[in-house]
Amino acid sequence: MKLHDLLGCVGVATILLLASALVPLIGPFFSLVIPLPFLYYSTKLGVNQGVKLASITVLFAALLSALLQYPYLIFLCLEFSLLGLVLAEIYRRKLKIGLSVLLGTSFVLIIGLIILTVAGLRENMGPLEMVYAYVESSLQQSVQVYENIGASPDNAHELGEYLRMVTNVISKIYPSLLIIGTGFVVWFNIIVSRPIFQMRNLPYPPYGALDRWRSHEFMVWGLIGAGFSFFLPASSIRWLATNALIVMMAVYVFQGLSILLFFLNKYRIPPWIRFGVYFLILFQQIFMIALAVAGLFDQWIDFRRIHSRKVD
């Protein structure tokens, strides 16, 4: 291990950690790419050297979290450094894109569950109870900030009622939101690492054209089963079906995105129009629903004629 590799991994990871904690508004976006330096150096130097770099970085993050009094930095660094190591091993095995995202997401969720369980032992709380308590405290802090800036008592009361309603909804669908968010982080790092690896001549898995990706055909039966589960009297089954339905619809959103990307590439749409399309999708939920519907019906309609080409 060379000194510039050590400084590069520790330095970049530290900058991203500090930015995620200290930069207002856009800080959380920096945390999305924290696994990248660990993925890069683990692929470049090997997994054994990557484990050493990750251990040094985690120790340094523990020191920073103690000095800055941000205890979650150590957990964030630990979780995402392990994700970088796991992605490096996935890259080495050259798995398909869907399986890569699935394995990476499953690993992060298991590690996060272990961390929440260990942290909850001190408070005598379970993992989900820890999450719900965190969400509720965050929303209460938002109400207090709104009151401190001079809002009227009536407006503050209305905001409090609205946030309580949001808390109630989140408490029911938080597992699915956690799975979707984790899967997005894994997918985002896989996509962003591609140009970096190409510039550095590092081996990148042969994922092929991502605009031809599609989910497994059998998933539609899970969607149908989740829909029929709403008619069952057991509330626990309905809760499970709701979260499963949200996760599967998120998968179909990604399939809809691949369909959209296919036609944008086919007709060679210029970048400025693509940016406008992506902007609308991000801020208008109706387009997100349209993508999910397109991804679902692509199982039968085959918008890109993928099945017919295979037959030919």
| Mean pLDDT within 247-271 | 92
Q: Are 223 and 292 in contact, with CB atoms under 8 Å apart?
A: no
In a domain, 145, yes or no: no
In a domain, 39, yes or no: yes
Q: Are 115 and 134 in contact, with CB atoms under 8 Å apart?
A: no
In a domain, 127, yes or no: no
Domain count, the chain: 2
Q: Are residues 291 and 190 in the same domain?
A: no
Query: Which residues span the domain enclosing 253?
Result: 209-312
Per-residue pLDDT tens digits for 1-56: 688 888 999 999 999 998 988 887 787 889 899 999 999 999 999 989 999 999 99
Torsion of CA 114, 58, 100, 258, to 10 degrees: 110
Contacts 24+ apart (CB under 8 A), 60-64: 60/10, 60/14, 61/13, 61/14, 61/17, 64/14, 64/17, 64/18
In a domain, 45, yes or no: yes
Of 207, 228, 257, the domain-final residue: 207
In a domain, 244, yes or no: yes
Q: Are residues 196 and 217 in the same domain?
A: no
pLDDT at position 112:
83
Q: Are residues 193 and 213 in the same domain?
A: no
- Radius of gyration, CA atoms only, the chain: 22
User: How far is the C-alpha of 205 from the C-alpha of 191, rounded, in Å?
Assistant: 11
Joined tokens for residue 51: 């484990």
Q: Are residues 195 and 274 in the same domain?
A: no
In a domain, 285, yes or no: yes
Q: Are residues 237 and 250 in the same domain?
A: yes
Q: Are residues 184 and 225 in the same domain?
A: no
User: How far is the C-alpha of 59 from the C-alpha of 78, rounded, in Å?
Assistant: 9
pLDDT at position 312:
47
Q: Are residues 80 and 202 in the same domain?
A: yes
Per-residue pLDDT tens digits for 159-208: 667 777 777 777 788 889 889 999 999 999 999 999 999 999 999 998 88
pLDDT at position 202:
93
| Mean pLDDT within 201-225 | 88
Q: Are residues 49 and 195 in the same domain?
A: yes
* Whether the predicted pLDDT of 311 surpasses 50: no
Q: Are 244 and 226 in contact, with CB atoms under 8 Å apart?
A: yes
Residues of the chain with pLDDT > 90, as a percent, come to: 45
Closest among 297, 259, 112, 284 to 186, alpha carbons compared: 112
* Whether the predicted pLDDT of 130 surpasses 90: no
User: How far is the C-alpha of 156 from the C-alpha of 158, rounded, in Å?
Assistant: 5
CA distances from 223 to 97, 182, 213, 263 (A): 22, 21, 19, 26
Q: Are residues 20 and 41 in the same domain?
A: yes
Per-residue pLDDT tens digits for 97-122: 999 999 999 999 998 888 778 777 77
In a domain, 198, yes or no: yes
Provide the whole-model pTM.
0.86
Q: Are residues 230 and 200 in the same domain?
A: no
- Under the banding of pLDDT at 50, 70 and 90, the label for residue 149 is low
What mean pLDDT value characterizes the chain? 85
Q: Are residues 5 and 118 in the same domain?
A: yes
* Whether the predicted pLDDT of 155 surpasses 70: no
In a domain, 44, yes or no: yes
Q: Are residues 187 and 244 in the same domain?
A: no
